[in-house]
Amino acid sequence: MKAADIEHETPPKAHKETGATEKKDYADPSRYKYPIHTAKNTRAALSYFSKPKNRGGYSPEEVKRVARKIIAAAKKFGIDVDEDTYKTFGLRKGIEEMGERLAKAGRIDLKKCLELRKAK
């Protein structure tokens, strides 16, 4: 049985002790995995879930769902998520959001990027 297949009825003791006591405190609430209630836990969740072996028991849809929750928590705590991380999870929306941020910072010409994308 894979770790992703294990469902807990309550949060693991180690997570409870750090304050992750409710389902909303987890990126994967059905399994009480990947706590995202603090910046430290969110960084750890992002790191662990970015590794393919830790996503092995999840369907592609579940990966995207968990990844979106981790990324949302990262944004909440001001943690920068790079483009490669979005690609790792198969998310496109994040890439477009990142392009908009880079354009606002004057680092890329978003119109030119969109034109090149349409030309493909």
Strand blocks (E) in the chain: 26-28, 33-35
- CA angle in degrees (0–180, nearest 5) for 41-53-69: 40
- Contacts (Cβ under 8 Å, ≥6 apart) of 50: 85, 88
pLDDT at residue number 67: 95
pLDDT band at 1 (very low <50, low <70, confident <90, very high): very low
Let me know how many helices (H) and strands (E) the chain has, helices first: 7, 2
Q: What is the mean pLDDT of residues 47-64?
A: 93
Is the pTM higher than 0.85? no
- Contacts (Cβ under 8 Å, ≥6 apart) of 94: 71, 81, 83, 85, 86
Question: At which residue do the structure tokens 């992002």 appear?
Answer: 46
pLDDT digits (tens, 9 = 90+) for 15-28: 878 888 899 999 99
Q: What is the mean pLDDT of residues 102-106?
A: 77
